[in-house]
Structure 1
Amino acid sequence: MAPNDSAETGSGTKGTAAGRRKAARYIVPVAVAGVAAATIGLVPALASTGDPELPKITAQELIERIAASDTERLSGTVRISTDLGIPALGGLADAFVQGGGAGGGGASADPQERMTELASGTHTLRVAADGPDKQRLSILDNASEYSLIRNGDEVWAYDSGSDQAYHATADESARDSGEKPVHPAPEGAPATPKELAEQLLEAAGPTTSVTVDGTARVAGRDAYKLVVKPKQSGSTIGSATVAVDAENGVPLKFTLLASAGGKPVVDAGFTKVDFAKPDASLFTFTPPKGTEVTEADDAKAQHEQGKGSDKDLGKGLGKGLDGLFPGAEGLGAEDGSVKVIGEGWNAIAEIGAPGGAALPSKGSEKGSDEMPAEAQQFLDSLGDKVTGTFGSGTVFKTRLVNALLTDDGKVYVGAVTKDALVQAANNAS
């Protein structure tokens, strides 16, 4: 058995810019939750069969082995189960996926729409990669398959159920200028198991414990188990475990547990994996005759049109948290009025409403700034009403991230308890 050797991350990972690490540490819990909600790339699943005897290794050595891994070729089957505890919205979620979002625009094959399916339930994926420019991910359904394929500058997505396709191209000028090339998955989401693990470890700070906790067999391969968890109490996150291939350092499995217990929030890993060069045909795609093809620019225009009056609010909620955690774009105040209360796993982001505007209040009169009673009732059903010296508001809960939305337009969000959010709002008032 491998030793239970601990490596604390107070000194940080050498070579990482101090400013970047400081920003990441501010919101470690949300970073982990963002990774969990966006586990849509070549992320791993379940398949443990016994605990192999492996040479002893320290946590620091295992982290270095992950960072040094240069494996870029693989193929296999992935199983991912996600339970964020988000209230079911009946057919509303399906309408967003099939209808292209709130505005009703967009293609059903658009990755920005379809990848949200992996935020809940259990899914089986087939994945393949041959270097940084060739990747394929397929979500398997009972009667259909959704595939996302990247081959150089070309990205195709195809939904066999609706016979719709999505196409994007990265032009050479963008690549020559150093801009990011087109990515096969929504930006902010990890594209490989290695990226997922590295984001998690990079965000770790002095409030984090990192240990090697035994070994495992994943997809028929020997692996070490790296466990990352908070030293602080009060976080909604219990631990994150990464099963790391003992031979090549590739993360094979990722499991995220809530501090409240229960089944994993995210349990994702390979059930089969092969590190040989995948067949080149996996990365080629030609739309079948009769397929409805949507170009990326057209899909973007449809999304923008669908946002309607919410566009400015979305932009306003966009800049305050940029760079703090994956997928943070779209979650901050336009004027930068965001600050972090506390640190580490108990960090809470306080976000001011754009322009200092308060939220609409309950009411139904047309032409007023009041929220219709029906809308207020729906909003209340998704959260808990709370009061304090700050006034009143609603706490919206998942198994990981909770958010307090005050009636005067402020937001307090973090992977902490409801009481911690209320206390933070009271202290800030």
Structure 2
Amino acid sequence: MTDGRPLKVALLGCGVVGSQVARLVTTHAADLAARVGAPVELAGVAVRRPGRLREGVLSELITTDAQGLVSRSDIDVVVEVIGGIEPARSLISTAFENGASVVTANKALLAEDGPSLYAAADKYGADLYFEAAVAGAIPLLRPLRESLAGDSVNRVLGIVNGTTNFILDRMDTSGAGYYEALEEATALGYAEADPTADVEGFDAAAKAAILAGIAFHTRVRLDDVHREGITEVTASDIASARRMGCTVKLLAICERAADGRSVTARVHPAMIPLTHPLASVREAYNAVFVEADSAGSLMFYGQGAGGVPTASAILGDLVAACRNKVSGARGPGESAYTMLPVSPMGDVVTRFHISLDVADKPGVLSQVAAVFADHGVSIDTVRQQGKDGEASLVVVTHRAPDAALTATVETLRGLDTVRGVASIMRVEGE
């Protein structure tokens, strides 16, 4: 209970997202007070470079002493948007120890150490909210852990990284190569100067870990998520997908096994049919499908990144945390009662598109087909083109375990007639 006093908010970080959070807390003060039941005030903003101009933020609120700010006994809610593991983890822990609830967008920290954060929040009677950590402005986590709390979620499939979606979309629609599309994404501000976290799938993998944990009521860490980026996707892959009536997307896929005894979480590029709703997700937008027993298929779509959209999700969490402070209630904590094991990638069953460079001579196709048969991988279609003693062979399989396909490819690499494996891509959404 606040006894009528204003609720005080500490903001850690005032960059692209943090500056918009500060602006919204200030400009929407009257609406926030009405929705919360008490005034909500910005009590301090911790930054690394205090001399930088921050429009709309009072200079007296700026501090470089983040530890001192979160240690204040009068702080009700701490909003963390600095990212990374440290000092974010230590600052959040201190906030909990001093009775403050925490709103964070820190996907990396949640994927690595979520259970410890939940435990600390529970120990000190505080809330932990993180809607903005996965899909920006898209309300996704709250529906998963609250609206679908009485249902059984079986699969979460989606595009959760706007940078890679922009790059793949440009490669598909304009014929640009990977590096050309990346250069455009950087110029438009969709890609960071160092795009590794995005293009190598680390960002999406952290989000997949969070999604799988909430959807399946179990603990999934970043290390549990199979990860592949888009740096190896070529114009030939895009063209092959188009010939199949597909497009290429970087997907986060979280699934519960058919027997309900394990889960899988993976991030990788995949071909999906143009008829699938995810195929029409363009530019830097995100979209996520959730499949549940009773609710059926649900789709969440919108802006998955950016200062204003992400700040919108943070403000939603801030209102929830502040309401709980006013009423003396608690938000949802960790739900990990199933404690399901995470199966290895080799157990995942899906279709595959394999492109091989082979010798253009009789008997090659039958030799390649025999290798697939030996490893129990059934072939759906084959396309072959040859010229001047060289040929390309494109094989699309029926559904098969990932481990079986890996073994097949290793055997193919050892054949004298196979000059190289040009690409391997999974086929999803059928």
Please state which band the TM-score falls in when normalised by the shorter chain: under 0.3
Instruction: Between the two structures, name the one with larger relative contact order (CA 8 Å, sep ≥ 6).
Output: 1
TM-score (norm 2): 0.23
Larger-gyration structure (1/2): 2
Greater share of residues in strand: 1
Greater share of residues in helix: 2
